[in-house]
Amino acid sequence: MSLVIVGSVALDSIETPVGKVNDALGGSAVYGALAASYFTKVYTVGVVGSDFPIEHIDLLKKHGIEVEGLEVKEGSTFRWSGKYENWNQAQTLDTQLNVFGDFNPVLPESCHTCNSLLLGNIHPDLQLRVLEQCKSYNFVACDTMNYWINGAKERLDEVISKVDIVFMNEDELKAYAGKKDVYTAADVVLQKGPKLLVLKRGEYGSVLIGDNTLFFCPAYPIVEVKDPTGAGDSFAGGFMGYLAKVGEMTPQNLKEACLYGTVMAALNVSEFSVVKLANHSFDHIQLMQDELKLWMKI
């Protein structure tokens, strides 16, 4: 079983209270793919400029990630620059879309046998274009962000009506639904069609909300956070990677997926860029997932 991830591939310049990096590997498709690669075969679909360091492509390949759908275009790679004064809120200093501005995702033929798809937080129009190319996926998930909730609500409605799983954080959920209470807001999302809403709450963990499904998962207790960039993408990547591996959205599989996503997010934030995410053993990931279960056990 395998997973297609469509999203941004970026070079990030990030400053946090404990350090900084320049032009470091980032982007939702990268964080998601690396996190998912511990569980299943991953196909990344995105675009980079001709300045994109070949070592980053090699890193993805080393993780067994298929990069046939990673288009290399004349020009500069998407760049994002941000600063964290507190861990929950990135302050964007600069965004240069560059080649990402004309991103037109095309799923290569190799993806047509995949069983699952994760749509990163790109424009809903692009998400819909990808969905049109999907033939026989078992399950499809989408992420989004406030920018599209405010600026492309109707197209986003259409995306949401066509996916099985929606990833949103609390602010996004409330803004999207126009409701102050998360459970009422979750109903608004679920009534559009998805089977599951995955509510991301950062340091407070996550909640799975669906028809007859309610599951609370704490965040993995990290003592030292270094860089929260990509936490949500790593979470979604781990979650979908595990689901793609097991192939079925049973309640038990969803819970396990949520725990693995939680572990991948924790690994990600404990170092800058993809340093921890790209250098781990599955045994250690399993150990962390077991620990999480222990801390939740009644």
Give contact residues for its own copies (rule: CB under 8 A): 181, 183-184, 201, 204-205, 207, 214-216, 218, 221, 223-225, 255-256, 259, 293, 295-298
CB of 99 to its own copies, least distance (A): 38
For the bound state, the minimum distance from the C-beta of residue 42 to its own copies, rounded and expressed in Å, comes to 25
Evaluate whether 259 touches 213 at the Cβ level (below 8 Å): no
C-beta of 204: minimal distance to its own copies in Å?
Answer: 4
In the complex, least distance from residue 38 CB atom to its own copies, rounded to whole angstroms? 19
Tokens of 98: 């560059």
- Which pair of tokens denotes residue 161? 């009506």
- State the Cα–Cα distance between residues 74 and 80, nearest whole angstrom: 19
Structure tokens, 39 = 């569980």
**Strand, coil or helix: what is 147?**
helix
If the CB atoms of residues 91 and 279 are measured against its own copies, the closer one turns out to be 91
| Length of the chain (residues) | 298
How many other CB atoms are there within 10 angstroms of residue 229's CB atom?
A: 26
Nearer to its own copies, 87 or 96 (CB): 87
252 Cβ neighbours under 8 A, 6+ residues apart: none
CB of 271 to its own copies, least distance (A): 16
Token pair 């009534």 is found at 191
Structure-block tokens of residue 158: 């259409």
Q: What's the min distance (Å) between Cβ of 178 and its own copies?
A: 16
> CB neighbours of 192 closer than 8 A, spacing ≥ 6?
157, 160, 161
Distance CA 35, CA 146 (A): 24
User: Residue 181 or 248: which CB sits closer to its own copies?
Assistant: 181
CB of 168 to its own copies, least distance (A): 16
Q: How far is the CB of 207 from its own copies (least distance, A)?
A: 7
- 46 CB-contact burial (10 Å; exposed 0-12 / middle 13-18 / buried 19+): buried
DSSP states of 221-252? --S-----TTHHHHHHHHHHHHHHHH----HH
Nearer to its own copies, 54 or 223 (CB): 223
- Name the residue among 218, 222, 224, 297 with its Cα closest to residue 261: 218
